[in-house]
């Protein structure tokens, strides 16, 4: 098996696991079981974005796409938390 194809398959499996876990969390938000703190999720998204760019600047391959997807989802959850916010203090 070609090494690039193997890395792409591992990245796809990683994204699948990530989407499954975030999907469960987002589902619990919409069911009202979880209330995400928008500022915390924004910070996580920001730090994950910095991590992604650090990976890219160091020559990371296809696996860094998992970090980028995680950053986007973190910002998405921050947005949901902001829209559905109540008294969060």
pLDDT in tens, 24-33: 999 999 998 9
Sequence ranges of the domains in the chain: 3-83
85 pLDDT band (50/70/90 cuts)?
Answer: confident
**pLDDT confidence of residue 69:** 94
Residue 87 has pLDDT above 60, yes or no: no
Q: Tell me the mean pLDDT in the region 22-50.
A: 95
Answer yes or no: are the C-beta atoms of 77 and 26 closer than 8 Å: yes
pTM across the whole model: 0.84
Quickly list DSSP for 36-49. Answer: --HHHHHHHHHHHH
Over residues 80-89, the mean pLDDT reads 77
Query: pLDDT band at 1, cuts 50/70/90?
Result: low
């Amino acid at each position: 098996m070609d090494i690039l194809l193997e890395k792409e398959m591992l990245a796809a499996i990683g994204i699948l696991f990530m989407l499954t876990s975030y999907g469960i969390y987002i589902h619990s938000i919409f069911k009202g079981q979880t209330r995400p703190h928008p500022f915390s999720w924004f910070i996580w998204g920001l730090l994950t974005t910095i991590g992604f760019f650090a990976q890219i600047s160091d020559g990371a391959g296809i696996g860094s796409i998992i970090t980028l997807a995680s950053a986007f989802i973190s910002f998405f959850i921050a947005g949901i938390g902001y829209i559905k916010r109540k008294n969060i203090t």
